[in-house]
Amino acid sequence: MKGAATRHERPGGSVAGTRRALRETLAVDRGLLAPVVGAVTAAPVVALYAVGQALSNPTSAIAMAIGAELIAIVSLIAAPRLSVAWALLDALAMGVAVFAGVVSVSTPWLHVSLLVAWCFGAGLVVVLGLTAGAIGSQAIIAYVVFGRFSGSASSAGHLAAYVIVGAVVEVAALLVLRAPPTLREQRARLADACDAVAGLARAPASSNAIATLVVLDDAERILAAPSLFGRTDVGDLRGVLDQLRRVRLELTTIAGLRQRLLQRPPAGVEDLRRAREAVADVLVELAGAVRTRVAPSWSAATSTLEAALARLEDHVEPVDPVLVGQYVTHLGAIGGQLRSMRHLTVDLARDNARTAWRVGRPTWQRADATDWRGELTLLRDALRSWSPALRHAVRLAVAVPAAVLIATWLSLPRGYWVAFSVAVILKPDYSTLLRRGVGRVVGTALGATLAALVVSLLHPNAAATTVLIGLSAWAAFTTWSASFVLGVGFITALVLVILSTSSEPVTTAADRLLDVVIGGVIAFAVYLAWPTPPRAGVVDAERDLFSALGDYLAATMRLVSSQPVDGDHLVELSRHARVAWARTEAAVGRSVEEPGATRVNPAEGRSLLTVGLRILRATHALRTEAERGARSAPNQALSDLGWDFARALGRISAHFEDREPGPPVALRERYRAAKRHLDADEVAPTIASHLDELVNAINTGAHLAGLETMTPTD
């Protein structure tokens, strides 16, 4: 495969991969500590527990607090946006699990049979993404933790209702008490990278660009933390970084052209210099916007750059036209990349316009039926024999019930922790399993020891217990993204302190640790008996993604140019593109956790996901505008651009299929020709803006795949 050397990390063997995974497990990323988010997220847990105790109902206090705690964890996994639909689905799933577990526990064969079915379904939903996978795990936890109490349908309903109330209150609180983003360190590093590239634009042509590359790599590393995978705001930050890398490459090429032009300076050299200075000024402004989370405005520097580019593109210097033409072409590409970076930072500012302790009214939207059809398609595909999700579902359906039976056979005093541990440790991929297993054991040991010492020494009353719950919850949610071990440790302490108010003692830290170790051994044994294949179909998923995006964009371009397009077919293409993106996200999410010898390059996999999402969003926006009437009369320039979009995405898809991708496509040149026709037809300027974003996103995808993005004559 062309460019295959960039598709994988250097083989380091399973031992090296294991050592790296262990180091990552025990590491603490101080840049991800989130004390304000921890306080906002912990507040409902503490409040619900206090209310239950005030009503002299310890059962309700415990059930509501645990329901709220589990939703809080999902909110951190799904950061920065908590989907109300998914959160409420989580609450309902936990309630159903509690009811089914309590009602069936008196009939062992029925209890185990329901657990098998429940675990299979919970394992299968990992194909829908990280949030869905976490919800599945929490449904199992609710079943095994609360399902050990035998009761009537009435008592089971009451217990399930308490859990649901706690979960719903946490959801409502997180909608009102809006936690701010916590990517301070990531933003600072990315802003430093913007400043470094700005310095490169101002530097003499003979300057070395290695120092700038080091700063970019530093930003890459901090944005690649495993705990950040799947976050939408991190995806936008990665999009900015990808564009910034392309700007650096363009500036490096321009530096070579500048050196060659020093021998015969063109008459328009001042315009070239002003455009380059304007590039630096815009980058500095974007750095400030990234740091402060304030949307960038249309500034004087941006106007200067646009005006200089317009003059240069209209009046190419006749002296040495080839070199000057290349110089102008690369400046034009930088202009498009800067516009894309501006759009991304505006989106980030919009996402981050939520501050702590600010009351706001959530907006409710009618569910789109096509979205659920897409989810059902993913679940249907996951039932195929080659699906990693199916393997994970089968492993869960075997391991968790086996853990229940083994704990019963060994007469462990709190054996439900064995099944609990299997549910949270067993993962679809090797490295996450390794990290979660080791991290769970170490974190449980620390948390159980801490809780045992504190409760044994202080013998807290109800008020003091509430304070301890508040401190444990705050510490757990503050450290959740920064360190899995610390997060698990404080979560363990939180759960044990909550349970200390019931008849269950908290002093048995050794029992907890033994249960977790047994659960970890079961999880590893079941995984190794039927492991997930290396790379888990990432290349096929990426190929299908860019192929689906090409089909959807081609139909949308026909709609924009007033050609007949079947509406139902367009909806179907949109759904296929969204399903392909979700499938790719799941595949990359699994594969980047594999040992270094077999996994895809994490930076490339995540960046290609970001590119795919940018193309999907821009195509959606283009289609929406066209359906509202913003269309152009049929013209050759727009048809050529649509054809070249399809060719460019086909090249990327061919790259992943190990086929010859063909020659590069001059999308920027085609875009300029199409924009002139759009302006002449007085078509809404948003159409050109979306086309501009598509050019940048597709060129970035080609660049990430190791493909050329300009013809030799550009």
Residue 595, pLDDT above cutoff 60? no
* 151, 244, 274 from 334: Cα distances, Å: 67, 9, 14
More confident residue, 431 or 168: 168
Residue 338, pLDDT above cutoff 70? yes
Q: Which residue has the tokens 């860019």?
A: 546
At residue 324, φ and ψ (nearest 5 deg) are -65, -40
Q: Which class is 184-351 in CATH?
A: mainly alpha
Answer for the pair 248, 197: CB distance below 8 angstroms, yes or no: yes
Answer for the pair 230, 585: CB distance below 8 angstroms, yes or no: yes
Most confident of 259-268, 503-512, 525-534: 525-534
What six digits make up the tokens of 18?
Answer: 């294991």
What six digits make up the tokens of 507?
Answer: 């002093």
Please give the pLDDT value at position 607. Answer: 85
Please give the pLDDT value at position 386. Answer: 67
For the residues of 315-333, what is the DSSP string, one character each? S--SSSHHHHHHHHHHHHH
Residue 295, pLDDT above cutoff 90? no
pLDDT digits (tens, 9 = 90+) for 610-646: 899 889 888 988 888 888 788 888 888 899 999 999 9
* Domain limits, the chain: 33-180+369-529, 184-351, 538-704
Answer for the pair 577, 619: CB distance below 8 angstroms, yes or no: yes
Q: How many CB atoms lie within 10 A of CB 185?
A: 14
Residue 401, pLDDT above cutoff 90? yes
Q: What is the CATH number of domain 538-704?
A: 1.20.58
CA 140 – CA 93 distance, rounded (Å): 9
For the residues of 51-113, what is the DSSP string, one character each? HHHHTT-HHHHHHHHHHHHHHHHHHHHTTT---HHHHHHHHHHHHHHHHHHHHHTTSHHHHHH
Eight-class DSSP state of 127: G
CA 330 – CA 279 distance, rounded (Å): 12
Residue 601's identity, in one-letter code, is N
List the single range of 17-31, 288-302, 467-481, 676-690 with lowest mean pLDDT: 17-31
CA 493 – CA 499 distance, rounded (Å): 10
For the segment 70-82, the average pLDDT, to the nearest whole number, is: 79
Same fold, 184-351 and 538-704: yes
For the segment 187-208, the average pLDDT, to the nearest whole number, is: 88
Most confident of 87-96, 345-354, 424-433, 617-626: 87-96
Burial of 692 per CB tally in 10 Å (0-12, 13-18, 19+): buried
* 197, 676, 688 from 328: Cα distances, Å: 19, 18, 20
Please give the pLDDT value at position 537. Answer: 66
For the segment 114-142, the average pLDDT, to the nearest whole number, is: 90
Burial of 379 per CB tally in 10 Å (0-12, 13-18, 19+): middle
pLDDT digits (tens, 9 = 90+) for 426-440: 888 776 677 667 787
For the segment 62-89, the average pLDDT, to the nearest whole number, is: 84
Please give the pLDDT value at position 367. Answer: 40
The rounded percent of the chain whose pLDDT value lies above 90 is 25
pLDDT digits (tens, 9 = 90+) for 662-691: 778 888 888 988 988 888 888 888 888 889
For the segment 91-115, the average pLDDT, to the nearest whole number, is: 94
Total-model pTM: 0.68
- For residue 249, give the nearest of 330, 349, 345 by alpha carbon: 330
Torsion of Cα atoms, 151 then 157 then 159 then 160, to 10°: 130
pLDDT digits (tens, 9 = 90+) for 515-536: 888 998 999 899 888 887 655 5
CA 212 – CA 465 distance, rounded (Å): 52
